[in-house]
Chain A
Amino acid sequence: MRLVLQLNQIHKVFNEGTPDEKIALDTINLTLNEGDFVTVIGSNGAGKSTLMNIISGVMIPDVGSIYIDGQNVTGMSEYNRAKLIGRVFQDPMAGTAPSMTIEENLAMAYSRNKTRTLKKGVTKKRKDYFREVLETLHLGLENRLNAKVGLLSGGERQALSLLMATFTEPSILLLDEHTAALDPARAELITNLTKEIVKKYNLTTLMVTHNMQQALDLGNRLIMMDKGQIILEVEDGQKQHLTIEQLLNEFQRIRGTKMASDRALLS
């Protein structure tokens, strides 16, 4: 099996040397094989978002190295690394350009893993292709290629973001609580689309979520984070039998306290 993502001894400290010093990531080791779908849970401040930012290149780790597809990307700039990574953000407004049309947004995503040139962004051939991939969302967006994305609803925009992040088949897909800002019905739609798309392209995926049920339903592996460390790793095979209660008990056993986030408990 091919290694897609490798995090070695990642360490990240915020505000080092000040009273506000906070260890965001503490010696993180993580490897993802091709086709792995790993869900990440943990309370607020556990370091989940920092982990995403370190992988995507928004932040550079203080110590440690990152390999994607065997290539050392530790110091690589965010935009260069983006050729390998598809990302969907929590905010449905963050993943699309509102004043541009659906087809223009898709054209920009289409160029993600290529060099941008002075050729036309939206060609007839690409339009047909965009229509084809939009149909897989079942939202009727394929008939609205010329609509400005700012006119779409939050759910539609997030579905479009998900499509834009995935249809060029990135080496890794990073999902950062991408259903958290949606109402339950929309969240379920996006969750189902995620399942479908990840399976269709066999994408190696890392998904942060606050929703424990979602973390159990999706993916083949699960990791739990707390205070910048990975405190629990559930591997392929064991995950199917896990329940929320077991997860919470496991947390209590390891940490000696109850899990801190009410939000995580309730959902």
Chain B
Amino acid sequence: MFTAIFGAFESGIIYAIMALGVYLSFRVLDFPDLTVDGSFVTGAAVAATMIVSGANPFLATITALFAGFIAGCLTGIIHTFGKINALLSGILMMIALYSINLRIMGKSNVPLLNTETAITHVRDFWDKTGIDSFFNSILTMAGLGGSLPRTWGIILFMLVVTLAIKFLTDRFLQTEIGLALRATGDNKRMIRSLSANTNMMVILGLGLSNAMVAFSGALIAQQGGFADVGMGIGMIIIGLASVIIGEALFGTKTIARTTLAVIGGAIIYRIVVTMALRVEFLEPGDMKLITATIVILALIMPKIIDRTKEKKRKAKRLAGSMNISELPSGGKGETGAAIKSDS
């Protein structure tokens, strides 16, 4: 059980980078970008193919990031210069990327077992430091000795990488260009009248978003030990689930808070799915159904909570007004006015 949650946490942190990308396109730019399903695989494909052919795994991961950037920019160009609907341009790019990904990999699956990847590098480096034995001894003392994770190194390393990307994103969204990018998603007409090239902003935003997605895909491929042409199916929904869950649970007061919420959402999503799959009658194939259910719940629940709160408040107000009208003094109109100004 603990090992499973631990594993979910580990991949959750990596998927969080993808979720940050989805946040950038979906929330900041207000652009429902379905390129994600394709660019996630593009990242995995580029990294896996390069690693198998002997390239440095870190270089391969960075190259994957750039490949994702180009894919996102292309979606932006199709949308802005081709004047094609946002959803459609994403879908078109996603379909196109399917073939491109197959071309990159040369086959539908590239295994990375027994290959040196960024993940194994980190693991080896970490093993040398011997910090694991310290953590593990604490857990063993706590009575969890039977379910130790393989290594702490990956989690800590990924946590550092993900938080670095989060801080860079926060920083970027406060710059002059970042502000114009946010305004492009908020009020295009206004920011155009303030001399920002909204087309370029959409292209740049989608590029950055898909760069993060591809980066995440490259890391997931190395963590899972393979790149598969079908591994991106439903990725946009997973990203969306992370964004929505995170926002609902942790709030959206500031940008820094929201990006942190998105990371939290990605981790929680992974844990929920892992737990759900441990339920007897559910099969691994049910995962997409579970995802869809989670997203629907995450979208509906806040509204239901708001409505019950509103009802309670109304009931309270009603009770209050009845108390006042029982008082003998004062005309009805006056008490009514008093209640109105109260609420």
State the A residues within 8 Å of B (CB).
56, 77-80, 82-83, 85, 87, 89, 94-100, 104, 107-109, 111-113, 116-122, 164-165
Contacts and interface: CB of A to CB of B under 8 A. Distances in A.
Contacts of B191: 97, 108
Interface residues of B, number: 22
Contacts of B175: 117-121
Interface stretch (B102-110, B180-188, B331-339): B180-188
A77 B198 CA distance: 11
Interface of A (DSSP majority class)? loop
A94 B194 contact: no
Contacts of B177: 116-118
Contact of A119 (B176, B187, B197): B176
A119 B193 CA distance: 21
Max chain B CB contacts within 10 Å: which of A80, A97, A99, A100? A97
A80 B175 CA distance: 20
A119 B180 CA distance: 12
Contact of A112 (B178, B182, B195): B195
B176 A117 contact: yes
Contacts, number: 85
A100 B172 contact: no
5 contacts: A78-B193, A83-B195, A94-B187, A97-B183, A98-B186
B189 interface: yes
A234 B182 CA distance: 44
Given A108-B176, A118-B172, 7 more contacts: A82-B195, A94-B187, A94-B189, A96-B187, A104-B182, A116-B176, A120-B176
A116 B196 CA distance: 8
Given A117-B176, A117-B177, A99 B192 contact: no
Max chain B CB contacts within 10 Å: which of A83, A87, A111, A164? A111
A116 B198 CA distance: 13
B178 A94 contact: no
A111 B177 CA distance: 10
A56 B189 CA distance: 12
Given A94-B187, A97-B183, A108-B179, A120 B194 contact: no
A89 B178 CA distance: 24
Contact of B193 (A56, A77, A104): A56
B59 interface: no
A80 B176 CA distance: 16
A79 B195 contact: yes
A164 B178 contact: no
Interface of B: 172, 174-180, 182-183, 186-187, 189-198
B172 A108 contact: no
Contacts of A165: 193
A79 B189 contact: no
Given A96-B190, A97-B186, A98-B187, A79 B196 contact: yes
Given A100-B182, A120-B175, A122-B174, A94 B190 contact: yes
Contacts of B183: 97, 100, 108
A96 B183 CA distance: 9
A224 B186 CA distance: 36
A82 B192 contact: yes
Contact of A164 (B174, B192, B194): B194
A98 B196 CA distance: 17
A85 B192 CA distance: 11
B197 A79 contact: yes
A99 B176 CA distance: 16
B186 A121 contact: no
A80 B187 contact: no
A82 B176 contact: no
A116 B176 CA distance: 5
A111 B180 contact: yes
Contacts of B179: 100, 104, 107-108, 111, 121
B186 A99 contact: yes
B193 A97 contact: no
Contact of A108 (B180, B189, B197, B198): B180
Contacts of B174: 120-122
Contacts of A111: 176, 179-180, 194-196
Given A79-B196, A82-B194, A87-B193, A118 B176 contact: yes
B175 to A, nearest CB: 5
Nearest to A93: B187
A121 B196 CA distance: 14
Contacts of A117: 175-177
A226 B58 CA distance: 68
Top 6 nearest A-B pairs by Cβ distance?
A: A82-B195, A116-B176, A97-B186, A121-B179, A97-B183, A97-B187
A194 to B, nearest CB: 17
